[in-house]
Structure 1
Amino acid sequence: MIRPPAPLSTIFRDLVNRFRADIPALRRTGRYALLPELCVNCLGKDARQGLCSGCRSDLPINHTCCHRCGLPLILAMPRPGLICGECLKHPPAYDRAFMPWRYEFPVDRMISHYKYHRQRAFGRPLLADMAGHVEAYLAACPDQRPDLLVPAPMHRQRERQRGFNQAAEIAEAISQRTGIPWSGQRVRRVRKSAAQSGLDRQERLRNLRGVFEVNGEVPAHLAIVDDVVTTGATMRTLAWLLRKHGAERIQVWALARTPAHSGHQGFYMTGNGETGRESG
């Protein structure tokens, strides 16, 4: 019996990824002009902006979350205006968060392929849908429209290695859809910090001391843009710095928010000032 050099599932996965990566080049060169729009997750046909309707419906919507930091909350009776326990105990320097998805499958996988493996096909549907969500959000809450979008800065060495700053691409996509200006130079990362993964929030805050620098005038109302918010340490540091330089209202806009660890509990507060406990 002849054994394949690798498990068939691995071979098939590699072939699919190779084919998926070749699709944009085939379209640019004019070959396979009738090639259908394929879903980046399942390779199904009739996708819109890279996602079919089935995979788009599988995206984990961040329905019930902290009004201030976007942390997903598990509540029996969700209500608007909830504030998580961490924001009650240690309010961040920003006022409101807008994060349409939870950082769970398949959003986590899509962002990982986009961010770490330079497979922009996985990011394209998220950026397009994020811009649409922001547009709808601002239509419902016009007073939340900021004067400027500030992408979370990346150290120039790390940006050269990766080839792009995903936060800047998200900000640009939102700007093109809404007309809100964005600037990748208003805040700069002047020092390369150690990797944030594996650190808790306090360790991340210490790791970010002296990392960022404001360059130029800061508007009264702005939104910091990033791909994923985990502990919120980076957003807290940036918001504190921007508020110190004159910002009066600060929002955080990100593709996704990482849920709290299993068994996490915390207090929450409704918009009417009632207090309860988050479970799950």
Structure 2
Amino acid sequence: MIKGLKSLSTLMTPKVNSAKRIPRAQISIKGLFQLRGGQCVACLEPHAHFGLCTPCRQDLPANHSHCRCCALPIAYAGDELICGQCLKDPPPFSRIVAPWRYRFPVDGMVQRYKYNGQRAYARPLIQDLSTHLTLMLETHPERTPDLLLASPMHPARRRKRGFNQAADIAEHISRQSGIPWSADLVVRNRRTRPQRGLNREERLANLRGIYQVTRIPPASIAIVDDVVTTGATARSLTEVLLEAGAREVQIWALARTPG
């Protein structure tokens, strides 16, 4: 059972006579998914599957009740209702798929991955998102996109962070599903203020005019990201893709904030 996130032992300094460990610098997103066993990143249980033991995986905050359009968590059971915001201002994208709510322990797992580069914390979330999408596309094959688009990051920010988490997620989903992915169909043409701490209107203003489509997009696209907060990034990216010729855009993410 999840009791708090601790550093994964394979990312700590090895002790004398300890078992052979994989150096952190050699752990790629592809390599992490080849290591199916190991310790649970949440409780350090020695028998984990893709980084989480069964009890901790069951404790993840599933986003069962949500708006069928923007995936905003709602209090009513089911996924066929539409939230007030989507009724008032329908988004340009067709749907958001986000299996979890962005709260403990998912929020801590994403933050350790995104801001500290601890990819082991993302491994179970990315793998389970891929499994969730596989099941969804088996049930609704008409939702299969022509292309996965990793949510773009400004080159300067990517150099500072060392990676684009959306590209990690898109690459793994592509490898599991066979759907091609791209990191350069849309680029950021200037830096902006960080989105953290901004409300919805400020986020939309912050993103206005920053995206540029580099070539004619395919008809159906799924934008891949880590977390959907207000939907401002999703709206801005979708609008430029539709203007460039795409006909349908979905958003696939690990988690959705409660609002």
Report the TM range for the smaller structure's normalisation: 0.7 to 0.9
1:122-271, aligned counterparts within 5 Å? 122-260=121-259
- The one-letter code of the counterpart of 2:11 is A
> Per-residue displacement from partner, 1:228-273 (whole Å, max 9, x unpaired)?
000110100000111111111111100000002xxxxxxxxxxxxx
Structure 2: how far apart are the matches of 1:237 and 1:18? 36
Please identify runs of 4+ aligned residues in structure 1 that moved more than 6 A: none
Q: Which residue of 2 aligns with 1:55?
A: 56
> Per-residue displacement from partner, 1:39-93 (whole Å, max 9, x unpaired)?
0111111100000001100111100111111100111xx2442111101111111
Distance of aligned partners of 1:84 and 1:118 in 2 relative to their CA distance in 1, 3 Å threshold: same
- Where in structure 1 are there 5+ consecutive unaligned residues? 1-12, 30-35, 261-280
Structure 2: how far apart are the matches of 1:23 and 1:181? 38
Task: Tell me the SS of whatever aligns to 1:135.
Answer: helix
Matched-pair contact (CA < 8 Å) for 2:8–2:39:
no
Q: Which residue of 2 aligns with 1:83?
A: 82
- The one-letter code of the counterpart of 1:67 is R
Structure 2: how far apart are the matches of 1:112 and 1:210? 27
Structure 1: how far apart are the matches of 2:13 and 2:147? 35
Distance of aligned partners of 1:43 and 1:190 in 2 relative to their CA distance in 1, 3 Å threshold: same
Structure 2: how far apart are the matches of 1:253 and 1:68? 12
Matched-pair contact (CA < 8 Å) for 1:148–1:219:
yes
Q: Which residue of 2 aligns with 1:265?
A: none
- Where in structure 2 are there 5+ consecutive unaligned residues? 24-36
Structure 2: how far apart are the matches of 1:151 and 1:23? 33
1:23 to partner: Cα distance: 8.6
1:18 to partner: Cα distance: 7.1
How many residues in Structure 1 have an aligned counterpart in Structure 2? 239
Structure 2: how far apart are the matches of 1:197 and 1:59? 23
- The one-letter code of the counterpart of 2:191 is K
Structure 1: how far apart are the matches of 2:20 and 2:168? 23
Structure 2: how far apart are the matches of 1:81 and 1:180? 27
| TM-score normalised by structure 2 residue count | 0.88
Find the structure with the greater CA-based Rg.
Answer: 1
Structure 2: how far apart are the matches of 1:114 and 1:27? 20
Distance of aligned partners of 1:136 and 1:18 in 2 relative to their CA distance in 1, 3 Å threshold: closer
| Candidates 12, 17, 21, aligned match of 2:7 | 17
- The one-letter code of the counterpart of 1:165 is N
Structure 2: how far apart are the matches of 1:20 and 1:85? 45
Structure 2: how far apart are the matches of 1:74 and 1:20? 39
Q: What fraction of aligned residue pairs are identical, expressed as a percent?
A: 51
Matched-pair contact (CA < 8 Å) for 1:20–1:40:
no
Matched-pair contact (CA < 8 Å) for 2:8–2:44:
no
Structure 2: how far apart are the matches of 1:152 and 1:126? 17
